[in-house]
Amino acid sequence: MVIKKLVRFDWAMKYILRNKANFDVLEGFLSNLLKETIVIENILESEGNREAENRKFNRVDLKCKDSQGKHIIIEIQNQREMDYLQRLLWGTSKGVVEGLELGTGYNEVVKVISISIMYHTMRGDEKVNTDFIYYGTTELMGMHTKKPLILHKSKEKHSETLVVTSKNVFPEYYMIYVEKFEDMIHDDLDEWVYFFKHGAIREDFKSPGILLAAKKLDYLMMSKEERRGYDDYLAYLGQELGILDSAKEEGREEGREEGRILTAKAALKKGLAVELIAEITGLSLAEVLKL
């Protein structure tokens, strides 16, 4: 099967997809994820959207309209931090504040949808956490009735009733763990997650959005300057991964060393010969004698 290599989505989101001419790529992904037509109006110029040289954390906040014509703010971020739940809360809170123009009432607060593409290993019980996409929102429920709180508000101009619930006010969260995806393609969204994981698409992919990504995120179609920047980014990721692997190995080695010392101390208390302890633990005679 032919696989076409593209630039990584996290890099594209920071340097290519911010261009209005490329909004259609993001619209394709968002529409597949949210199961409705999403139109991006513009990028919000927030602190998180500044193109600073922060390669570890990329975030883009988009002012959008959903299929009902309602304004929403969609925050897409690539996470590599371990304290990501706190980061998610910070990001959505900031999105709510930045989306409210100075002097406007709280009734103008727009809903924020947070989408995180996770590139680190999921923490927790691996036997329980078997999915690769998790969704959640805040919904106020009756403690006894177990039914959601529903508020009714009348619009002044048309006197029609708008049903308001906590679910359509508070932020929604989507967390996509790309490493948990097992490359099984069942729908258009799976094609996107495959792309997030591998930076490539297969020849049998059919989603209009992913085909747009294939056209606009082709490495071979980039300018020399863009290629240079992208290659530098890949080199940075490789270096970061190498540092992480080295730290893990050092940690394992320290653990092994500590284990040998504890074993040697226990053996000394039992009265075993120093030579035998050195042979069992792998420590030198001098190291055992120091204990």
Q: What is the pLDDT of residues 146-179, one digit of tens each?
A: 988 887 665 545 545 556 677 778 899 999 998 8
CB 132 within 8 A of CB 193: yes
Among 48-62, 96-110, 116-130, 187-201, the range scoring the smallest mean pLDDT is 48-62
Of 114-128, 152-166, 174-188, the range with the highest mean pLDDT is: 174-188
Residue 228 in any domain: the answer is no
What is the predicted pLDDT for the residue at 242? Answer: 61
In this structure, the answer to whether residues 139 and 258 fall within a common structural domain is: no
In this structure, the answer to whether residues 178 and 286 fall within a common structural domain is: no
In this structure, the answer to whether residues 114 and 157 fall within a common structural domain is: yes
In this structure, the answer to whether residues 163 and 117 fall within a common structural domain is: yes
In this structure, the answer to whether residues 18 and 82 fall within a common structural domain is: yes
Residue 106 in any domain: the answer is yes
SS3 173: strand
Q: Which of 221, 250, 281 is the last residue of a domain?
A: 221
Residue 270 in any domain: the answer is yes
Helix spans in 71-158 (H): 84-98
Confidence of residue 187 (pLDDT cuts 50, 70, 90): very high
CA distance 119 to 80: 6
In this structure, the answer to whether residues 248 and 171 fall within a common structural domain is: no
The verdict on pTM exceeding 0.85 is: no
Measured in whole angstroms, the distance separating CA 118 from the mean position of its chain's CA atoms is 3
CA distance 118 to 126: 16
CA distance 248 to 138: 37
Residue 232 in any domain: the answer is no
What are the pLDDT digits (tens) for 203-260?
899 998 899 988 888 877 777 887 787 888 777 766 665 655 565 555 566 667 777 7
Measured in whole angstroms, the distance separating CA 282 from the mean position of its chain's CA atoms is 43
Residue 49 in any domain: the answer is yes
In this structure, the answer to whether residues 213 and 261 fall within a common structural domain is: no
How far are the Cα atoms of 198, 221, 229 from residue 232, in angstroms, in the given order? 18, 17, 5
CA distance 230 to 258: 42
Give me the domain span that covers residue 246. 241-290
Instruction: Give yes or no for residue 181 having a pLDDT over 90.
Output: yes
In this structure, the answer to whether residues 210 and 74 fall within a common structural domain is: yes
In one letter, which amino acid is 45? E
Q: Which H/E stretch holds residue 60?
A: strand 58-65
In this structure, the answer to whether residues 168 and 256 fall within a common structural domain is: no
Residue 226 in any domain: the answer is no
Q: How many residues does the chain have?
A: 291
The structure tokens listed for 63 are 């002012």
SS3 207: coil
Strands (E), the chain: 3-5, 39-43, 58-65, 71-79, 111-118, 133-137, 150-154, 161-165, 172-177, 200-202
CB 56 within 8 A of CB 99: no
In this structure, the answer to whether residues 193 and 277 fall within a common structural domain is: no
∠ CA 211-115-88, rounded to 5°: 155
Per the prediction, the chain carries an average pLDDT of 79
What is the predicted pLDDT for the residue at 183? Answer: 93
In this structure, the answer to whether residues 208 and 261 fall within a common structural domain is: no
In this structure, the answer to whether residues 45 and 163 fall within a common structural domain is: yes
Phi-psi region of 79 (alpha: psi -120 to 50; beta: other; left: phi over 0): beta
Residue 3 in any domain: the answer is no
The structure tokens listed for 159 are 């006197």
Confidence of residue 49 (pLDDT cuts 50, 70, 90): very low
Residue 231 in any domain: the answer is no
Q: Considering its fold, how many domains does the chain have in total?
A: 2
